[in-house]
Amino acid sequence: MSKHRIPNDKWMEFISEIATQLTELNFHEETFWFDAEQNQTTFTEEAQDYYNEMYDEYETLLENILDITSDRDEYYGK
């Protein structure tokens, strides 16, 4: 069975949203910090590591269980 392919920008946006929500639920007020030098809010180091893990995990779940993938072949090194 072939995988359902969705536009890469939607693929990444969806997985990122899930990973961000899980990170916020896990880290609460320790999720973000403000970098005054860059004038931007970013994940704390621990939250970034967790986000990366969740992104990878949910990307794999979508691919393996629901047969959904990005429409970008080079995203997967093909």
User: How many residues in total does the chain contain?
Assistant: 78
- Flag whether pLDDT at 70 surpasses 80: yes
CB-count burial class (<10 Å; 0-12, 13-18, 19+) for 15 = buried
Please give the pLDDT value at position 72.
Answer: 82
Domain coordinates in residue numbering, the chain: 4-76
Q: Cα(23)–Cα(18) distance, rounded to whole angstroms?
A: 9
Q: What is the pTM of this model?
A: 0.84
Alpha-carbon torsion 5, 56, 34, 29, what sign? positive
| 15-30 mean pLDDT | 97
Q: Cα(67)–Cα(60) distance, rounded to whole angstroms?
A: 10
| 7-29 mean pLDDT | 96
Digit-coded pLDDT (tens) for 43-64? 999 999 999 999 999 999 998 9
Question: Between residues 50 and 68, which one has the greater pLDDT?
Answer: 50
